[in-house]
Amino acid sequence: MIETRPYAPGDGAAFETLYHGYLDHYRLGPPNGAETARLITLLDDGRHMSCLIAHDGGRPVGFATWALTFPAGRGTALFMKELFVDPQARGQGVGRHLMAGLVEIAKAEGCVRFDWQTDGDNAGAQAFYKAVGAPQVEKLSYRVPADTLADFRARLTRPSGRRP
């Protein structure tokens, strides 16, 4: 039976297991102990991002990270940053349970909407969201990787009227 609950201090080991599965699934390289520890510290401290973890019995099988954002029209929105389900648990309703849990959080927080994105080439995620009846909104996303932040900042601080 799938159960979801908000991340609480002490859930670090469950999150770490799933996070390592996430890195492996997306071929992002091996886990870095310092990075993982920082994420767990942020979650333990309740800073910046919150997490919902799904369990099947005692086994962690998925997570969804989220934050409240504003303004969202005339209110706040719950923004889901990531939804990950262990590949061995897919097709068992874990993603649906996580999304339903986020809907309950959004309602409890008085959010005016629930937003998320997926990469354009993530056909599996898109098929899942279509299957659950999520309306698609066309938006463009922008991303500045860490190794180009300094260059990007320099472009931002150039006097207007000067072109790169």
Q: With a threshold of 0.95, does the pTM exceed it?
A: no
Q: What is the pLDDT of residues 102-134, one digit of tens each?
A: 999 999 999 999 999 998 898 999 999 999 999
Straight-line distance from the first to the last Cα atom of the chain, in angstroms, rounded to the nearest whole number: 57
As given in the structure block, the two tokens for residue 161 are 């009227």
3-state secondary structure of 133: coil
Each domain of the chain, given as residue ranges in start order, spans 2-157
As given in the structure block, the two tokens for residue 62 are 């998925």
- CA-based angle 129:134:138, to the nearest 5? 95
Q: Which amino acid is residue 106, in one-letter code?
A: A
Residue 129 has what pLDDT?
Answer: 93
What are residue 113's DSSP bridge partners? Answer: 77
Q: What is the full per-residue pLDDT of the chain (164 aa) written as tens digits? A: 999 999 999 999 999 999 999 999 989 999 889 999 999 999 999 888 899 999 999 999 999 999 999 999 889 999 999 999 999 999 999 999 999 999 999 999 999 999 999 988 989 999 999 999 999 998 888 889 999 999 999 999 888 755 55
Superfamily name with CATH number, domain 2-157:
Gcn5-related N-acetyltransferase (GNAT) (3.40.630.30)
